[in-house]
Amino acid sequence: MSPHTLAAAPAAPRDRRRRHLPASPGQYAVWAAVAVLTLAPLVPLVVTSLRSQPYYLPGGVFSIDAYRQLFADPAFREAAWNTVVFALCATALALLLGAAFAVLVARTNLPGRRRLGPALLAPLLIPPLGLIVGWESLYGPAGYLTQLWSTNLHLPAWNLTSLPGMSILGAVVTLPIAYLTCKAVLDGADGTLEDAVRACGGGTLRILRTVTLPMLRTALLDSGMLIFTLCLEVLGIPLFLGRPANIQFIASYLYDTWSSSTVPDPPIVSVGAILLLVVASVLLVIRGRLLRHAARYTSGTRATPPARPLDLGRWRIPAAVSMTGFVALTCVIPLLGLALMSSVTDLTTLVAPWHLWNAANWQDIWDDPALHRAITNSLLVAAIGSTATVALVALATVIAHHSGFRLRRTLPALLVYPRATPGIVFGVGFFWLFLIVQWPGALLRNSLWGELLALSVRNMTLAYIILAPALSRISPELAKAAAGSGASWWTTTRRITLPLLRPALLSALVLMFVTLVSDYDPVVFLTKPGTELLGTSMLQTWGKGLPGPVAAMAVVQIVLVAVALSLGLGWTLRKKGRHA
């Protein structure tokens, strides 16, 4: 057959069956869902911050009095100063330790580095309030180790309820971010430069100073901006540790103002939320611009690992011992203290703990309907919220990176923005959104589903940061081949792309479940009797001066997280065993 005959031949008949979901309307629907869920809670903040009265009260007019009142309040100015000092100190310490540990694990012959590296990620997996309560039970002013150190040994004690003390805890919580970012750079960096310095007679210190540390500048900038932004929104640390010393942060100032104000839902809280939102957004923009310029100096060649790790010499054992001690003091021992505190009437050095051992705190959880309901509600929210969020984010991620949808480039920013926004801002925003929008706001306002929505939207970023890298490893040629066979985009996504993403989908599902069980910031203004969650119940119970039941609820959180991680890990190992 001649070429002209081939050109004139009719195209192969396409499958003309009606598609279950047309590509364009379906993609628009996913994009609209992500955009509305991300941006809609932020709009009411502006409206309510510019009214003289709460939205539901008559007589409200346009006014900026709430802004004047906030900036004129000495308590707010002090809280803002404390927040900035805390964020700077915690960020600096987290970057210093995170970079040092990343270098030790990824670039040296540190003994036990394969076990110590994963151990440094423990603060990411431990519920934040549980870690805070564990620290307070041991290192607080009345903590067990503090009493042992100062009263029994008569040595000067530390002060966990001071700004430096809280900054250390903040650094421990955020250190894994710096560690992971720096380690990713070191694992993928070109090791020939280090080998060249070594060949010229340079020692370990010279290699670190001239090659290794300069490689981390972009990683330190990236993680530093993110950690600083996260520190600005911290709520649990000032509520649990700052109150005894009368130290307020912006988030705790807004929480206390909302809880104790004589005016219901004061506009000043919306103003404070707007301020946090603006600061977080500006930092996000600055981070993006700085990283864009830093990318110009990134090597495009394929990285090769170093010929051999850097030799620590006589510092190998001291470094390993110090790193092990850090993990023990910051995570392992506080968890043991938390478990002990949950099972005793009073944790004191005057009486041996086994003489005070009882199940009263656990009985309180079981007998108190609100505390018992908080556990079941958290499980329900985590199970349904993680499944629905991962499903939506998976579709949005595929649209953003494996489609020709015209608005696809906006989806990554929409998916990342919620996590860059302080959780307390989303809480206030959803409160007003449910109140202003009659439908479906009236259904969500006083129900558990409203809290589920706020938590899921706030944390959808976590699913995206797992799914996007996994999707980038799937060749687009598969989708092109399916399209050439007449398959629609939705058919290709359903039958090819999503099945290939199953391991990443499971990881995202487990991470979302763990996060939804532990998170609490976005719902502190949404919780009502009957819709209690573990995090909000712990805050309320701690405010009543009952640390024992709080410790017991924290242990429940940790057990739920451990079970979820074990199930996810077990499924992964079974899948690997089948393919082996």
65-74, 236-245, 482-491: the lowest-pLDDT one: 482-491
How far apart, in whole angstroms, are the C-alpha atoms of residue 336 and residue 327? 13
DSSP 8-class letter at 474: S
- Residue 568 tokens read as 């996810």
Count CA atoms closer than 13 A to 352's CA, side-chain side.
Answer: 2
- The per-residue pLDDT of the chain, averaged, comes to 84
CB atoms within 10 A of CB 373: 17
CB atoms within 10 A of CB 570: 10
Among residues of the chain, what percentage have pLDDT more than 90? 35
Q: pLDDT at position 575, please? A: 67
The residues, ordered by sequence, that sit 6+ positions from 519 with a Cβ below 8 Å of its Cβ are 423, 455, 458, 459, 535
How far apart, in whole angstroms, are the C-alpha atoms of residue 382 and residue 567? 15
Please tell me which residue, 345 or 191, carries the higher pLDDT value. Answer: 345
Q: pLDDT at position 208, please? A: 72
Among residues 276, 263, 229, 273, the alpha carbon closest in space to that of 429 is found at 273
- The Cα diameter of the chain in Å comes to 100
How far apart, in whole angstroms, are the C-alpha atoms of residue 475 and residue 497? 10
How far apart, in whole angstroms, are the C-alpha atoms of residue 573 and residue 577? 6
Is residue 309 predicted with pLDDT exceeding 60? yes
Residue 320 is which amino acid? A
Please tell me which residue, 60 or 33, carries the higher pLDDT value. Answer: 33
Among residues 227, 217, 219, the alpha carbon closest in space to that of 173 is found at 227
Q: Are 310 and 240 in contact (CB under 8 A)?
A: no
pTM of the model: 0.85
DSSP 8-class letter at 302: P
Q: Are 280 and 65 in contact (CB under 8 A)?
A: no
- Residue 230 tokens read as 């996260």
DSSP 8-class letter at 348: -
How far apart, in whole angstroms, are the C-alpha atoms of residue 18 and residue 60? 53
Count CA atoms closer than 13 A to 345's CA, side-chain side.
Answer: 8
Count CA atoms closer than 13 A to 274's CA, side-chain side.
Answer: 18
Phi and psi at residue 322, to the nearest 5°: -65, -40
Q: Are 204 and 311 in contact (CB under 8 A)?
A: yes
pLDDT in tens, 522-563: 999 888 888 999 999 999 888 888 888 899 999 999 999 989
Most confident of 5-14, 142-151, 242-251: 242-251
Instruction: Scan for tokens 């190998």, then name that residue.
Output: 316
Q: Which residues of 349-366 are buried (b: 16+ CB within 10 A; e: fewer)?
A: eeeeeeeeeeeebbebbe
Distance between alpha carbon 45 and the CA centroid of its chain, in Å?
A: 23
Q: Are 426 and 461 in contact (CB under 8 A)?
A: no
Distance between alpha carbon 515 and the CA centroid of its chain, in Å?
A: 7
Helix, strand, coil shares, percent, the chain, to 5: 75, 0, 25
63-67, 310-314, 350-354, 357-361: the lowest-pLDDT one: 350-354
Q: pLDDT at position 6, please? A: 36
Q: Are 482 and 491 in contact (CB under 8 A)?
A: yes
Among residues of the chain, what percentage have pLDDT more than 70? 88
DSSP 8-class letter at 343: T
**pLDDT band per the 50, 70, 90 thresholds, residue 297:** very low
CB atoms within 10 A of CB 520: 24
Residue 374 is which amino acid? A
Three-state DSSP state, 119: helix
Evaluated on CA atoms 237, 240, 241, 246, the torsion sign reads: positive
